[in-house]
């Protein structure tokens, strides 16, 4: 039997075989003060030899040094780069700069991989920006193939650096390179991945709150990743033509524009609908040019001016003044965005996402079950969260799946949805590349 007393000692009460049962010996042993991580004394010198041996030289009583050799499989030089240190990364080029943060393309000296370095300048009187703290804390707990990966955090007196995986472009830049609307097959894959990532964070009661094409990264294999969870990019990375504040309005739901503070997952789903329409049509769904009033007018022009019948509770919102808005009736979405009619179920899905009343919007999980995605292969639905792969059941053997840009974007016009041939290609022993080929 073992007990613990208040002095921090372990007390062991154990009967001995050589004495009567009623007589017991009480033994007290103090806890060891040995610290395995304690630095060696000054008189001990650690030297790494050329053959990877660690030699400890310690002065003996005779005044001579007696070496003790201990082998290392991989010596750790004091100059070796480590995670969490600024000198572990090399800055290659500047990607963007804002009022308090600068983003660089960089390279890790630890593994040689490309990274994105978001360097946030700290001010003594203000401390660390709350948006940076939020972004770091959220991303450290999110592990999903469709969410940007936070590799490292470096904190110094002058800066806070967030080290992300490097993704070479974003959806905004991708659409700029391919004006007139993306190929419908690519739209479907991008939207599928966006909804997967959102479903993952929504199940964990996390809202992105700033969905827009600039915050959706696209890898060279076609993998889409949600980024910028701290609302920091709107202040730190300048947009293309318009200010970030105006651009963000384009994807902001009408309930938020009218002053609602009851945020829920439906807030993000409005942005999904706007991005979906923009990928298909080739232009922003609601590109307001002036202010919140103008933004709401553009929304009501398509969806109709709301009232208590179409949107219960709208009159109680702080900024809703019926006399300020033109009275519009709702219309079919294809009247506003004709290319929705070219793709099966696209208009229906968009109409269920772009609902003025937040309670009427589809959730991310429900949107994934929409008929619009019915022609995707079953294997896509079996993807794990953390990686785009399937474990085959055999040890150290998995089936990899990439998200290729499966069709060159057409600059001529919008093409009807082609037939789909899903094929598997062997690339390495024990691995299979899952590719989509549209014919």
Annotated catalytic, 291?
no
How confident is residue 16, by pLDDT bands cut at 50, 70 and 90? Answer: very low
Q: Does position 270 have pLDDT exceeding 90, yes or no?
A: yes
How confident is residue 278, by pLDDT bands cut at 50, 70 and 90? Answer: very high
pLDDT at 132: 72
pLDDT at 81: 53
Residue of higher predicted confidence among 428 and 245: 245
- Quickly tell me which residue has 């992300």 as its tokens: 164
Q: Which residue(s) pair with 161 in the sheet?
A: 119, 154
Q: Does position 151 have pLDDT exceeding 80, yes or no?
A: yes
Domains in the chain, CATH or no CATH each: 1-80 (no CATH), 86-165 (3.30.200.20), 190-213+238-377 (1.10.510.10), 380-438 (no CATH)
Strand ranges for 247-331 from DSSP E:
none
Strand ranges for 98-181 from DSSP E:
101-108, 114-121, 150-155, 159-165, 169-170
pLDDT at 85: 82
Q: What is the Cα–Cα distance from 116 to 106, expressed in whole angstroms?
A: 6
Alpha-carbon separation of residue 158 from 104, 122, 127, 144 (angstroms): 17, 5, 10, 31
How confident is residue 246, by pLDDT bands cut at 50, 70 and 90? Answer: very low
pLDDT at 156: 85
User: Each residue of 296-320: pLDDT tens digit?
Assistant: 999 999 999 999 999 999 999 999 9
Mean pLDDT of 353-376: 97
User: Each residue of 94-147: pLDDT tens digit?
Assistant: 988 876 778 899 999 988 999 999 898 887 666 666 667 777 777 777 889 999
Q: Does position 365 have pLDDT exceeding 50, yes or no?
A: yes
User: Each residue of 193-229: pLDDT tens digit?
Assistant: 999 999 999 998 888 888 999 999 999 888 999 988 7
Q: What is the Cα–Cα distance from 286 to 142, expressed in whole angstroms?
A: 31
Q: Does position 422 have pLDDT exceeding 90, yes or no?
A: no
Mean pLDDT of 9-25: 48
User: Each residue of 327-342: pLDDT tens digit?
Assistant: 999 999 999 999 999 9
Residue of higher predicted confidence among 129 and 4: 129
Q: What is the Cα–Cα distance from 225 to 386, expressed in whole angstroms?
A: 12
To 10 degrees, the CA torsion angle through 285, 289, 290, 291? 20
Alpha-carbon separation of residue 301 from 332, 335, 432 (angstroms): 11, 11, 49
pLDDT at 210: 87
Q: What is the Cα–Cα distance from 409 to 178, expressed in whole angstroms?
A: 6
Mean pLDDT of 388-399: 43
Residue of higher predicted confidence among 87 and 421: 87
Q: Does position 276 have pLDDT exceeding 90, yes or no?
A: yes
| Least confident among 21-25, 30-34, 254-258 | 30-34
pLDDT at 237: 31
Query: Does 359 carry a binding-site annotation?
Result: no
Q: Does position 372 have pLDDT exceeding 70, yes or no?
A: yes
pLDDT at 45: 42
Please name which of 326, 322, 303 lies closest in space to residue 314, comparing C-alpha atoms: 322
pLDDT at 230: 58
Angle at 225 (CA atoms; ends 253, 263), nearest 5 degrees: 25
Q: Does position 49 have pLDDT exceeding 80, yes or no?
A: no
Residue of higher predicted confidence among 381 and 42: 381
pLDDT at 19: 52
User: Each residue of 153-206: pLDDT tens digit?
Assistant: 888 888 889 899 999 899 999 999 999 999 999 999 999 999 999 999 999 888
* Whether the predicted model's global pTM rises above the 0.85 cut: no
Under 8 Å between Cβ of 160 and 128: yes
pLDDT at 48: 43
Q: What is the Cα–Cα distance from 240 to 169, expressed in whole angstroms?
A: 14
Q: What is the Cα–Cα distance from 164 to 147, expressed in whole angstroms?
A: 11
Q: Does position 64 have pLDDT exceeding 60, yes or no?
A: no
pLDDT at 388: 53
User: Each residue of 128-140: pLDDT tens digit?
Assistant: 666 677 777 777 7
pLDDT at 355: 98
Count of alpha carbons within 13 angstroms of residue 34, beta-carbon side: 2
How confident is residue 414, by pLDDT bands cut at 50, 70 and 90? Answer: very low
Pure H helices in 142-263: 171-177, 184-202, 233-236, 244-250, 254-257
pLDDT at 128: 62
Q: How many other CB atoms are there within 10 angstroms of residue 273's CB atom?
A: 24
pLDDT at 26: 52
* Catalytic entry in 152, 170, 185, 210: 210
How confident is residue 408, by pLDDT bands cut at 50, 70 and 90? Answer: low
- Quickly tell me which residue has 């298909």 as its tokens: 280
């Amino acid at each position: 039997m073992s007990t613990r007393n208040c002095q921090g000692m372990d007390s062991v009460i154990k009967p001995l075989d050589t004495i009567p049962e009623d007589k017991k010996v009480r033994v007290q042993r103090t806890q060891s003060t040995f610290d395995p991580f304690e630095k060696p004394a000054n008189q001990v010198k650690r030297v790494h030899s050329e053959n990877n041996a660690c030699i400890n030289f310690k002065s003996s009583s005779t005044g001579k040094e007696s070496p003790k050799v201990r082998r290392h499989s991989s010596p750790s030089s004091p100059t070796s780069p480590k995670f969490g240190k600024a000198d572990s990364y090399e800055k290659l080029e500047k990607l963007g700069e804002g009022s308090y943060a600068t983003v660089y393309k960089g390279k890790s000296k630890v593994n040689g991989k490309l990274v994105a370095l978001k360097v946030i300048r700290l001010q003594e009187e203000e401390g660390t920006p709350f948006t940076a703290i939020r972004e770091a804390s959220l991303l450290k707990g999110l592990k999903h193939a469709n969410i940007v990966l936070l590799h490292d955090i470096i904190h110094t007196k002058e800066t806070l650096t967030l080290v992300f995986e490097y993704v070479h472009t974003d959806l905004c830049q991708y659409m700029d390179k391919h004006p007139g609307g993306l190929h419908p097959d690519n739209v479907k894959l991008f939207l599928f991945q966006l909804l997967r990532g959102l479903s993952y964070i929504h199940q964990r009661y996390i809202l992105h709150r700033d969905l827009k094409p600039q915050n959706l990264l696209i890898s060279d294999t076609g993998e889409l990743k949600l980024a910028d969870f701290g609302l920091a990019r709107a202040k730190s990375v300048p947009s293309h033509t318009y200010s970030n504040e105006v651009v963000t309005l384009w994807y902001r739901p009408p309930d938020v524009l009218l002053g609602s503070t009851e945020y829920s997952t439906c807030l993000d789903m409005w942005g999904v609908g706007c991005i979906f329409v923009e990928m298909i049509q080739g232009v922003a769904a609601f590109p307001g040019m002036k202010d919140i009033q103008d933004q709401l007018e553009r929304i009501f022009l398509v969806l109709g001016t709301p009232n208590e019948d179409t949107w219960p509770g709208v009159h109680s919102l702080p900024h809703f003044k019926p006399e300020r808005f033109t009275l519009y009736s709702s219309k079919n979405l294809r009247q506003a965005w004709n290319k929705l009619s070219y793709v099966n179920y696209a208009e229906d899905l968009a109409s269920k996402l772009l609902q003025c009343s937040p309670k009427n919007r589809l959730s991310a999980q429900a949107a994934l079950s929409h008929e619009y995605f019915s022609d995707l292969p079953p294997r896509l639905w079996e993807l794990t969260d953390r990686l785009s792969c399937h474990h085959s059941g055999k040890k150290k053997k998995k089936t990899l799946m990439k998200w290729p840009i499966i069709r060159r974007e057409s600059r001529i016009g919008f093409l009807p949805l082609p037939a789909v041939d899903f094929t598997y290609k062997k690339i390495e022993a024990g691995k299979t590349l899952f590719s989509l080929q549209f014919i």
